[in-house]
Every structure is written in structure tokens, then in C-alpha cells.
Chain A
């Protein structure tokens, strides 16, 4: 048993989001909220207080009509690897409430350990982390629709996307009961991936050559958000438009992203 575990190859779960396909419909956000028991309030007009593990941003090329172009950009947690798993949020957490797991490449958030200092929120350059300002309240009867696989969070803790880890656990359980020790690519997919009607999101193991994400991340159209910070994120975006690829990071005037040496690819 010991040997088997030690020899199991590390996984690196990640995502490729094709922005050419994304229509900005927000299905990924809905799928995510219902999958992960994400709380909402009666009045959600103040978006700074909303909790959205994945959120769709709208970006434009800032050109006047008729050259105006719009792109929608879904943003889950990037599950940054940084250098050797020292992602921005993991490095600053004083409570050991958030952690980088080398076996899966997933940045975890343990709600019962978090005491709500929100350093991680300050450290995250993607605004992927959210604070619970209130205890969650679901409308009557709706509590029955909650997933028993995801624990609800209380007031005063931070939460974020965990690539639907409960789905990974479920898939592993099924595999173990069938006598397998590992899962297939399609057995573990995040809710946003399956919820996207345009098929814009691809999810899988970035280390596994047979997985679709392995090929997609090597596309010349692939880029990551704020790559130059050294966060080493595991969410890749694909766009055929240069202005979109350029919007993924900050460049000085006349600087060409193609000529910049990218680290940690």
C-alpha cells in the first residue's frame, strides 16, 4: 500500500477557457453556486459583497465604434502554483487554513481553520477569494437542495473555488469500489465545465498527456492572467484576438507579449 501511494504520479488539475467560445451567459456561475452551496442574499445589488467562486468579467478593446470588440472572461480561482506551491494566498495565511497540495495542484480552503483575517484576499491578485460577511441563509425549502458533499460556511471566514474537489472525491470512491486506483478524465469534471453550454471550459490534468488540457495549454493562443507576477496559475485562457491576450497582463507601450520570456510554462 505504501509503495503504491508513493509511486502515484502527482496530478496538476487545471483549466483551459476558450474565450472565443464564451458568450458571457453566466451558466458557469449558476452551476458553481448550486454545486458548492454558495450563499446569496436577498439583495445582491452590491457586487462587492456578493460571493461568486467563478465570475464572468466583461472586457473591451476600448476602441470607438465600429471597431469596438467585447470579450467575456470567466474567472475561477487560478490555483496558482507559484514557486514550489507557494501561491500568494498560501504564503500569507497565518492560520494554515489554505494550502497547496502537490498531489493534485489544488489550493484548498479549510473553513473551520480560517479565522477571517483576509490576508489571502489582499494577496490574491485575481480577487478570487470572498469573505462571508453574514451567516448563510437559504430560502425555506431550498436547504433541501444543498449538496451534502460541501460544508456550508459561516460568517467570518473566507471561501473560494476548489475545482469542485468533492466531485474528485466522489469519482475516486466509485473507482475504488470498481477495483481501480485512479480515475478517467471524464469522471472528474467541475460543475462550471459541465454547465457551460458553449463548451468553452476544458478541465483535466495538466500533467497528463492524454488529457485535452495538456494540448490546449500549448496552443499559441494560450495565455494566463498576470503571468509576470510569477503566480504560475493553472487556468489558461485561449483567444484568437491579440488585444484579448494582451489584456491578460500589464505591458508597457510597444512591448510585445510574444517576445517576453515566460517562466514556469
Chain B
């Protein structure tokens, strides 16, 4: 063997005997698998936990209990104004209509009356479905014109007995309900997320409008402001 051939062999084998070479490959594969697993765990489990901060609502509200006492379902408290706008989360004045004095025996209600009603302080509710500033959403168009149920977008919140934790995206400041609980973005129910794509898909199916010249979907200003 010439000197040159020796050198070629030396380079191609990385200057290692065969046993050690196999061992190195084995370690490489193991570390690769560990790396992939660690990345997946970080991406799917750790990252969402880091991304969202958890906030408690100022008062724990029982929707189910209230639904038993009101006549007009959701619209009893979440009503439309005469000008067509939507009231959204009720103001303190509405609560006072019934809760000027403590009604039941729930300590949470007592605290609510003491801390907010007695002092005339608005409750700083955290709104799960609050959309970003650039979004226009018309409740009138969906509920009055389209005849949709509240549940379709908001889920069975009327049957809940307690308010769940509000999760806020630390980067965007938006509620987790916009992206949805599932970090993959896949949905089982119509109310699982409130992204632009969810709105657009439903608009395509339900209205069939294709008036936008650029996108051949519904017009941009229908939902943007």
C-alpha cells in the first residue's frame, strides 16, 4: 500500500477502529432520538405552559344557577341594545338589579356584594372571547340575522357552574380561547377556537359569498376594521 492509500483509509474511517465507530453511531442515534423527544416534549407540553399565564376571574360566577332564574336565556343578561350593538359582559348596574342585597348562602356571592356592589366598583371580568383590536364582530348579524346559537361559538358556557381559569398569551396578550386549547389547532367542536380561519370557513359554508376580488371569499371589511 502506498502512503497515499494509507492516508485515504485513515480519513474515511475517521482514524477509529470498527468497534468504536459502531459505538459512536449508536450514541449518535440515541442522542438524536433523545433530542427529538425533548424537542417534542418542550414544544407540545412545556412551551404552551410557558406561553400562557393563568389568571383567576375576580368573582366565581355560576352560569347554570343564573339560567334557572332568568326568563330569556343568555339574552337576559347579555342583551342587544336598541341601536343594534351588543352589551357583551354585563355591567355592575345589571347585577345590582337583583344583588343589591345578598340573595343566597354562597360565600362567593357575599364577597361579590361586599367588594363590588357596596362600593359601586365595576367587576374587572376577564373576557375569554375578546378578539384583537382589528376585528369587527357583529353579534346582531350572527344571532339575529343568521339565527345562530350562542353555543356555536362560545360552547356550553351556560351550563357551567364555575368560571374556568383565564389563560392569557404572554406574547400577544390575547385569550387562549382565540387559538384554542389544542396547541395543534385541530378542533372537535365549533367552539374550540376563534381564529380568523374558523370565521372564514364558516362564512364560506354558510353565506357562500365570494365577493372579494383578491381572495374569492367573503369581503375583508366584513370582519376587519
Q: How far is the CA of A98 from the CA of B31 in the complex (A)?
A: 49
Asked whether A112 is an interface residue with its Cβ less than 8 Å from the other chain, the reply is: yes
Q: Mark A103-126, 1 if CB is under 8 A from B, else 0.
A: 110101011100000000000000
Interface segment among A51-59, A165-173, A191-199, A235-243: the answer is A165-173
The answer to whether B208 and A2 touch across the interface, beta carbons within 8 angstroms, is yes
In which size bucket is the chain A interface?
35 or more
The answer to whether A101 and B220 touch across the interface, beta carbons within 8 angstroms, is yes
- Within 198-225 of B, Cβ neighbours of A (below 8 Å) are at 206-209, 211-215, 219-222, 224-225
The answer to whether A177 and B207 touch across the interface, beta carbons within 8 angstroms, is no
Most buried by B among A104, A151, A165, A177: A177
Q: Mark B137-175, 1 if CB is under 8 A from A, else 0.
A: 010110011110000000000000000000000000000
Cross-chain contact of A149 among B140, B147, B207, B225 (Cβ < 8 A): B225
Cross-chain contact of A112 among B80, B85, B134 (Cβ < 8 A): B134
The answer to whether B213 and A100 touch across the interface, beta carbons within 8 angstroms, is yes
Q: How far is the CA of A1 from the CA of B220 in the complex (A)?
A: 20
Asked whether B73 is an interface residue with its Cβ less than 8 Å from the other chain, the reply is: no
In which size bucket is the chain B interface?
20 to 34
The answer to whether A1 and B147 touch across the interface, beta carbons within 8 angstroms, is yes
- B193 to chain A minimum Cβ distance, whole angstroms, is 18
Asked whether A96 is an interface residue with its Cβ less than 8 Å from the other chain, the reply is: yes
Residues in A with CB closer than 8 Å to B146 are 1
Residues in A with CB closer than 8 Å to B222 are 101
Please report whether the interface of chain B is mostly helix, strand, loop or mixed according to DSSP. loop
- B209 to chain A minimum Cβ distance, whole angstroms, is 6
Residues in A with CB closer than 8 Å to B133 are 151-152
- B196 to chain A minimum Cβ distance, whole angstroms, is 10
Q: Mark A54-74, 1 if CB is under 8 A from B, else 0.
A: 000000000000000000000
Q: How far is the CA of A123 from the CA of B86 in the complex (A)?
A: 39
- Within 66-84 of B, Cβ neighbours of A (below 8 Å) are at 80, 82-84
Interface segment among A83-91, A131-139, A205-213, A225-233: the answer is A83-91
Most buried by B among A84, A176, A179: A176
Asked whether A181 is an interface residue with its Cβ less than 8 Å from the other chain, the reply is: yes
Residues in A with CB closer than 8 Å to B84 are 170, 172-178
Residues in B with CB closer than 8 Å to A170 are 83-85
Cross-chain contact of A173 among B141, B206, B215 (Cβ < 8 A): B141
Residues in A with CB closer than 8 Å to B208 are 2, 5-6
- Within 114-154 of B, Cβ neighbours of A (below 8 Å) are at 132-134, 136, 138, 140-141, 144-147
The answer to whether B140 and A101 touch across the interface, beta carbons within 8 angstroms, is no
Residues in B with CB closer than 8 Å to A112 are 132, 134, 224
Residues in A with CB closer than 8 Å to B134 are 110-112, 151
Cross-chain contact of A177 among B80, B219, B221 (Cβ < 8 A): B80
Known pairs A112-B134, A177-B80; A166 contacts B225 (CB<8 A): yes
- A113 to chain B minimum Cβ distance, whole angstroms, is 8
The answer to whether B224 and A108 touch across the interface, beta carbons within 8 angstroms, is yes
**Nearest B residue to A162 by beta-carbon distance?**
B221
Known pairs A90-B214, A96-B214, A99-B215; A173 contacts B138 (CB<8 A): yes
Residues in A with CB closer than 8 Å to B224 are 108, 110, 112
Q: How far is the CA of A57 from the CA of B172 in the complex (A)?
A: 42
Asked whether A34 is an interface residue with its Cβ less than 8 Å from the other chain, the reply is: no
Residues in A with CB closer than 8 Å to B83 are 170, 173-174
Residues in B with CB closer than 8 Å to A176 are 84, 138, 140-141, 144-145
The answer to whether B206 and A169 touch across the interface, beta carbons within 8 angstroms, is no
The answer to whether B213 and A85 touch across the interface, beta carbons within 8 angstroms, is yes
Cross-chain contact of B138 among A2, A100, A101, A172 (Cβ < 8 A): A172
25 pairs, CB–CB < 8 Å, chain A vs chain B: A1-B207, A84-B213, A93-B214, A96-B215, A99-B213, A101-B213, A101-B221, A103-B209, A103-B211, A103-B219, A108-B219, A110-B134, A110-B220, A110-B221, A166-B136, A170-B84, A173-B138, A173-B141, A174-B84, A176-B141, A176-B145, A177-B80, A177-B82, A177-B144, A181-B145
Chain B interface residues (CB < 8 Å from chain A): 80, 82-85, 132-134, 136, 138, 140-141, 144-147, 206-209, 211-215, 219-222, 224-225
Closest 6 pairs (CB-CB, A-B)? A173-B84, A174-B84, A101-B219, A85-B213, A103-B211, A173-B140
Known: A1-B147, A102-B219, A104-B219. 16 other contacts (CB 8 A): A1-B146, A5-B207, A5-B208, A6-B208, A104-B211, A108-B220, A108-B221, A172-B141, A173-B138, A173-B140, A174-B140, A176-B84, A177-B84, A177-B144, A178-B84, A181-B145
